């Protein structure tokens, strides 16, 4: 290995494989900066906790418009649900590669394991990901690198290949043994939990794609609350609890129309549409909101707000579950 101090950027999901990948490269004297790409489908919260416990500084970057474009039209198709894993991985490596200059780093690291996931982590898809990322020759996968073609960091001696691993397959035995050896106790057992693999969540995703609402300003709300499709143009989101209400509130901009019951504590609603919202939709959304307030009975008042100002008050009858259920996504 040469004397130069090398620097790498690593994709950190928070799962054990990604933690070990960072560890293995650090063991060779390379400075490794862990990076998490956050989107409306996977948040950095858990990876952040893992990094904190390990004493690592995690760089978090948000994926927005360009990532949504990839999801809507993936070159390599979807997995079981709306998870375009090959395109998604390639996109993340591409983003990471573009950060090399900013961080004055030399190469990229990932915790992928050969043969661990049948569709996205076999030899061919892994090679496809590398190629499509535009940074093929700079990617190192320390857990399986001995079984993969040498990339520049190995050819040039920036890393000692002999100290990297040859893990293949779905068994976690070697990784768990390594975790013990390195005394690593902080990692996620699920590897981060991407909601694009959840069939129920994907109904909401598909709905936005179908209704020409596949834009970050709508997509950012997908993770929280109950979602109702009122008609082709308009949908309603309602917080299910305080946690949802708080999260939704943080995402609201002055363009959003929100609704709250006048006399009761309850869900925060957000009404969104691709066209001007009609009076009928205001009324209907108010009736649905009241459905989720147990104490509300009969006719009640609901207030609508925009940019912090009250824009309207509507008095409507609380709707029955049987009238609202079929609009739920």
- Least Å distance, CB 117 to ligand SF4, is 9
Q: Is 42 in the site for ligand SF4 (CB under 6 A)?
A: yes
Among 16, 19, 88, 96, binds ligand SF4 (CB under 6 A): 88
Range 255-292 burial, b when 16+ CB lie within 10 A, else e: ebbbbbbeebebbbbbbbbeeebeeebbebbbbbbbbb
Range 170-198 burial, b when 16+ CB lie within 10 A, else e: eeeebbeebbeeeebebbbeebbebbbbb
Q: Which of residues 235-294 bind ligand SF4 (CB under 6 A)?
A: none
Q: Is 196 in the site for ligand SF4 (CB under 6 A)?
A: yes
Bridge partner list, 292? none
- Least Å distance, CB 34 to ligand SF4, is 16
Nearer to ligand SF4, 196 or 268 (CB): 196
Q: How far is CA 288 from the centre of its chain?
A: 29
Nearer to ligand SF4, 152 or 191 (CB): 191
- Least Å distance, CB 212 to ligand SF4, is 22
Nearer to ligand SF4, 84 or 239 (CB): 84
Sign of CA dihedral 278, 284, 286, 288: negative
* Contacting range for ligand SF4; rule: CB under 6 A; set: 27-35, 124-132, 193-201, 237-245: 193-201
- Least Å distance, CB 79 to ligand SF4, is 6
- Least Å distance, CB 244 to ligand SF4, is 22
Residue ranges in contact with ligand SF4 by CB under 6 A: 42, 83-85, 88-89, 194, 196-197
């Amino acid at each position: 290995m040469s004397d130069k101090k090398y620097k790498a950027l690593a994709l950190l999901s928070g799962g054990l494989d990604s933690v070990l990948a960072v560890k293995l490269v650090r063991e060779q004297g390379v400075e490794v900066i862990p990076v998490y790409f956050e989107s409306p489908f996977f948040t950095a919260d858990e990876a952040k906790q893992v990094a904190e416990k390990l004493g690592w500084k995690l760089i978090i970057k948000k994926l927005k418009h360009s990532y949504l474009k990839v999801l809507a039209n993936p070159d390599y198709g979807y997995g079981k649900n709306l998870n375009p894993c090959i395109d998604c991985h390639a996109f993340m490596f591409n983003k990471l590669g573009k950060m090399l200059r900013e961080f004055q780093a030399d190469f990229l690291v990932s915790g992928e394991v050969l043969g661990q996931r049948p569709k996205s982590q076999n030899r061919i898809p892994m090679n496809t990901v590398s190629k499509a990322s535009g940074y093929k020759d700079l990617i190192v996968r320390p857990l399986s690198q001995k079984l993969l073609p040498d990339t520049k960091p190995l050819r040039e001696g920036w890393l000692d290949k002999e100290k990297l691993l040859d893990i293949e397959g779905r068994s976690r035995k070697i990784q768990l043994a390594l975790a013990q050896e390195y005394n690593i106790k902080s990692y996620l057992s699920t590897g981060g939990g991407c909601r694009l693999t959840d069939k129920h969540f994907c109904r909401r995703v598909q709905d936005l794609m179908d209704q020409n609402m596949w834009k970050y300003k709508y997509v950012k709300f997908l993770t929280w609350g109950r979602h109702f499709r009122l008609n082709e143009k308009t949908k309603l989101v309602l917080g299910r609890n305080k946690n949802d209400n708080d999260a939704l509130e943080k995402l609201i901009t002055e363009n959003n129309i929100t609704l709250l019951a006048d006399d009761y504590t309850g869900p925060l609603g957000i009404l969104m549409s691709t066209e001007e919202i009609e009076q009928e939709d205001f009324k209907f959304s108010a009736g649905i909101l009241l459905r989720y307030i147990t104490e509300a009975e009969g006719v009640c008042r609901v207030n609508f707000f925009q940019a912090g100002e009250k824009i309207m008050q509507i008095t409507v009858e609380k709707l029955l579950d049987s009238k609202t259920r079929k609009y739920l996504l």
